[in-house]
């Protein structure tokens, strides 16, 4: 019997004893581990604590939390409040805790859900030992605009890839049981459509049509709900005049009624109070009423619920049952987290050293999150016995923390090996020189055999509230690469960033380009593994890379329009209309050929099989990707949609037969009311290494 079933009677008993104030208190989430309002905890006016001191936790430095300090607070709730209801402790454990993995965009680039699940499992174990029960991940916002800094936190532009990763993260955090020391409650956020912020400007309004909402933005959330995610966070954004925090159609309507999901909905930071700024609420009380009626159970850091829900219920403006139901859900979550069995965390469980197996998991995932974009003359992997000049602003060991990426609250710099040390301890190179300043870099480039320039974005240039108006490298970096490129010494550019960038000048200047979405704790060793050929660059792009900012938004699963290429062309006069790199793209150190595609349709779905041959000289891994197009439908459908993928290892000279299946319902589409349409007709199928290449076949769909 699950803990919340075991405690069902206790929950009802508590509900019958609670005052309206205590009920509203359970729905109140207070920020901070520093200034905790002890008197409010004693009065039962706090239900959960978010262990962060500001609304910009992903960018601001946050105090570490320790089980002993949280236990002390817990004691106040359990021993000094009237009903002794324990507190729930939350924190943003976004892409690892002490063992920081690649940012989620990099995790998506791995196309390796098993590795993503493992990282989440490790994060759960480490964070739980610090006393944290609840994390605010995974972020499932489909993003088509890299100006939006939060693109770093999600799984990119594709609903299928994001759905697979959603399930992997939810399982990783939750599958061992929320009440165990290796489980935590996950939170699918930001529900929904937050990635549509106009101009890529964080918090901006979005425009979403009903069918785009259903087919593009909702699917990853549906996958998380299906995987049993314990909580969902409503987004800051508004579309169609309705801020998500007050949008009952998507919260109570779609999440709860249509999908039958029964978890806890939390607002984003201060978002209930911000309904006043949106201009849909007159004051805080009105905001509280709108949010609770829409289905938001917990008010994060907004102070609206505990201040106003009691009076709203007394005045008959919020039905008592609505309040009770929200409290019941919160108490059930507490029971599920084991808090009614033992509210305290053992104080000797916290990690002292990062265990080797945690590092290995982070390193394997990081290697598979690094994408090889260009490799002229097979410059990479670097030959042994060369003199390497390591240059560029991000090669500086003093800034190694940047490779953690955004939303790293608990990673510690001293746990990281920087690229320079990793390269110097590698037996391959004859010598490794390092230059800090551009002039020194140029001087060294004239003398060494190969230059490795590490450039890109520092960690707080992406993430929350870090939108940009350019997709160029930060100032000075392109010029440095261009200068180095002219010297004649072979040049490798390693670009680390939290978003896709417009890399045209980089590709012109450098012979080889490796792109690493900030890969986390093991960045240095993983980048060196790939540079030296101890590992393949395993990543594939989870977002389309534009040639320039003017092409944005550009994504592979667009519509055909009435004037497609090559007929009339919907195009630009000054640039090609194709992207720099398509979704799913990534080179390898070997060569793969796809052969003998066969597709079969049966009433359960589509079965495809293809032979993948490794025709190069090294063992390698390919990410086999299957795309479909519904050729004719009652509404226009995208030119291509990813429906299945598999990462396969193929030895040099060998081949494997790869089977991929697509369930029947995944070949349909939803209308604006969420009804599934399965329409008979022909479909085109492509199976290949990315969204722009592949073998093609057709089949007739007969649902
Ligand atoms: C962010 C959320 C985050 C929350 C708590 C907000 O500003 O939008 O993603 O989980 O803060 O730190």
Q: pLDDT by residue (tens digit) across 234-285? A: 999 999 999 999 999 999 999 999 999 999 999 999 999 999 999 999 999 9
Residue 565 has pLDDT above 80, yes or no: no
Catalytic residues: 268
Is the Cβ–Cβ distance between 86 and 72 less than 8 Å?
no
- CB burial of residue 258 (10 Å; 0-12, 13-18, 19+): middle
CA-CA distance, 112 to 539, in Å (whole number)? 9
| 511 secondary structure, DSSP code | S
First to last CA, the chain: 39
Q: Which domains does the chain have, with CATH numbers?
A: 3-336 (3.20.20.300), 366-546 (3.40.50.1700), 592-701 (2.60.40.10)
**What is the average per-residue pLDDT within 153-174?**
98
**What is the average per-residue pLDDT within 433-439?**
94
SS3 content of the chain, % helix, strand, coil (to 5): 35, 20, 45
CA-CA distance, 614 to 593, in Å (whole number)? 7
Report whether residue 91 contacts ligand 1, using a CB cutoff of 6 Å. Answer: no
Report how far apart, in Å, the C-alpha atoms of 273 and of each of 231, 298, 325, 540 are. Answer: 20, 12, 22, 41
User: Which region, left, alpha or beta, applies to residue 145 given φ > 0 means left and ψ of -120 to 50 means alpha?
Assistant: beta
Residue 144 has pLDDT above 90, yes or no: yes
pLDDT at residue 101, as a whole number: 98
What is the phi/psi pair of residue 395, to 5°?
-85, -10
Is the Cβ–Cβ distance between 298 and 304 less than 8 Å?
no
Q: Which of 269, 300, 408 to mutate to test the pocket of ligand 1 (most atoms within 8 A of CB)?
A: 269
Q: What percent of the chain has pLDDT over 70?
A: 99
- CB burial of residue 18 (10 Å; 0-12, 13-18, 19+): buried
**Four-CA torsion 125, 357, 187, 368, nearest 10 degrees:** 180
Residue 4 has pLDDT above 80, yes or no: no
Report whether residue 55 contacts ligand 1, using a CB cutoff of 6 Å. Answer: yes
Residue 1 has pLDDT above 90, yes or no: no
Report whether residue 585 contacts ligand 1, using a CB cutoff of 6 Å. Answer: no
Query: From atom 6 of ligand 1, which residue's Cα is the shortest distance away?
Result: 269
HEC-encoded secondary structure of 440-459:
HHHHHHCCCCEEEEEEECCH
Report whether residue 464 contacts ligand 1, using a CB cutoff of 6 Å. Answer: yes
**Four-CA torsion 319, 323, 329, 332, nearest 10 degrees:** -120
**What is the average per-residue pLDDT within 404-414?**
96
Is the Cβ–Cβ distance between 598 and 547 less than 8 Å?
no
**What is the average per-residue pLDDT within 506-519?**
98
Q: What's the half-sphere exposure (Cβ side, CA atoms, 13 Å) at 353?
A: 3
CA-CA distance, 228 to 167, in Å (whole number)? 9
> How far is the centre of ligand 1, averaged over its atoms, from the C-alpha of 56 (Å)?
7
pLDDT-derived band at 391 (thresholds 50, 70, 90) equals very high
Q: Which of 136, 202, 237 to mutate to test the pocket of ligand 1 (most atoms within 8 A of CB)?
A: 136
pLDDT at residue 33, as a whole number: 65
**Four-CA torsion 224, 409, 472, 549, nearest 10 degrees:** 30
**What is the average per-residue pLDDT within 284-303?**
98
Q: pLDDT by residue (tens digit) across 621-673? A: 999 999 999 999 999 999 999 999 999 999 999 999 999 999 999 999 999 99
Q: What percent of the chain has pLDDT over 90?
A: 93
pLDDT at residue 61, as a whole number: 78
CA-CA distance, 629 to 193, in Å (whole number)? 24
């Amino acid at each position: 019997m699950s803990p919340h079933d075991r405690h069902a009677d206790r929950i009802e008993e508590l509900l019958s004893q609670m005052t309206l104030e205590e009920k509203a208190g359970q729905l109140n989430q207070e920020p901070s581990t520093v200034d905790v309002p002890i008197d409010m905890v004693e009065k039962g006016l706090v239900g959960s604590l978010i262990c962060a001191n500001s609304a910009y936790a992903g960018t601001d430095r946050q105090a570490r939390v320790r089980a002993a300090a949280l236990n002390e607070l817990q004691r106040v709730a359990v021993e000094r409040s009237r009903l002794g209801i324990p507190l729930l402790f939350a924190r943003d454990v976004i892409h690892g805790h002490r063992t920081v993995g690649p940012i989620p965009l990099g995790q998506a680039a791995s196309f390796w859900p098993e590795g993503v699940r493992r990282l989440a499992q490790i994060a759960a174990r480490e964070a739980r030992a610090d006393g944290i029960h609840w994390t605010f991940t995974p972020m499932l916002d489909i993003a088509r605009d890299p100006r939006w800094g939060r693109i770093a936190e999600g799984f990119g532009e594709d609903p299928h890839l994001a759905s697979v990763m959603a399930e992997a993260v939810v399982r990783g955090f939750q599958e061992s049981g929320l009440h165990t020391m290796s489980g935590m409650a996950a939170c699918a956020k930001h529900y929904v459509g937050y990635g549509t912020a106009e101009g890529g400007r964080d918090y901006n309004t979005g425009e979403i049509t009903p069918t785009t909402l259903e087919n593009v933005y909702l699917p990853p959330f549906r996958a998380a709900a299906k995987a049993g995610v314990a909580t969902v966070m409503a987004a800051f954004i508004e579309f169609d005049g309705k801020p998500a925090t007050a949008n009952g159609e998507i919260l109570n309507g779609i999440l709860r009624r249509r999908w039958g999901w029964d978890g806890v909905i939390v607002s984003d930071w201060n978002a209930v109070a911000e309904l006043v700024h949106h201009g849909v609420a007159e004051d805080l009380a009105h905001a509280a009423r709108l949010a609770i009626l829409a289905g938001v159970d917990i008010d994060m850091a907004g102070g609206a619920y505990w201040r106003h829900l009691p009076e709203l219920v007394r005045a008959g403006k919020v039905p008592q049952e609505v309040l009770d139901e929200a409290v019941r859900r919160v108490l059930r979550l507490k029971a599920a987290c084991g808090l009614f069995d033992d509210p305290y965390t053992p104080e000797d469980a916290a990690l002292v050293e990062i265990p080797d197996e945690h590092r290995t998991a982070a390193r394997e995932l990081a290697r598979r999150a690094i994408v090889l974009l260009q490799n002229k003359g097979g410059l990479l992997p670097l030959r042994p016995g060369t003199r390497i000049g390591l240059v560029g602003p991000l090669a500086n060991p003093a800034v190694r923390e940047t490779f953690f990426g955004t939303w790293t609250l608990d990673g510690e710099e001293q746990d990281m090996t920087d690229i320079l040390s990793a390269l110097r301890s590698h037996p391959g190179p004859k010598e490794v020189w390092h230059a800090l300043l551009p002039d020194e870099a140029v001087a060294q480039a004239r003398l060494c055999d190969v230059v490795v320039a590490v450039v890109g974005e520092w960690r707080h240039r992406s993430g929350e509230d870090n939108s940009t108006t350019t997709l160029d490298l930060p100032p000075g970096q392109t010029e440095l690469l261009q200068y180095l490129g002219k010297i004649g010494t072979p040049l490798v550019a390693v670009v680390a960033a939290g978003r896709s960038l417009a890399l045209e000048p980089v590709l012109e200047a450098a012979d080889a380009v490796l792109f690493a979405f900030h890969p986390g704790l093991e960045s240095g060793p993983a980048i060196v593994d790939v540079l030296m050929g101890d590992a393949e660059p395993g990543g594939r792009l989870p977002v389309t890379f534009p040639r320039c900012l003017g092409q944005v938004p550009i994504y592979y699963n667009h519509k055909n329009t009435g004037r497609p290429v090559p007929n009339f062309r919907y195009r630009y006069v000054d640039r090609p209309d194709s992207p720099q790199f398509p979704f799913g793209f990534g080179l390898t150190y070997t060569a793969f050929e796809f052969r003998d595609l066969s597709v079969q349709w049966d009433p359960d779905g589509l079965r495809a099989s293809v032979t993948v041959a490794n025709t190069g000289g090294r063992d390698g891994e390919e990410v086999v990707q299957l795309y479909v197009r519904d050729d004719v439908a009652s509404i226009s459908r995208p030119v291509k949609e990813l429906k299945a993928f598999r990462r396969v290892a193929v030895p040099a000279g060998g081949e494997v037969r790869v089977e991929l299946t697509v369930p029947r319902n995944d070949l349909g589409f939803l209308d604006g009311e969420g009804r599934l349409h399965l329409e008979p007709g022909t479909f085109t199928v492509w199976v290949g290494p990315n969204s722009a290449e592949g073998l093609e076949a057709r089949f007739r769909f007969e649902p």
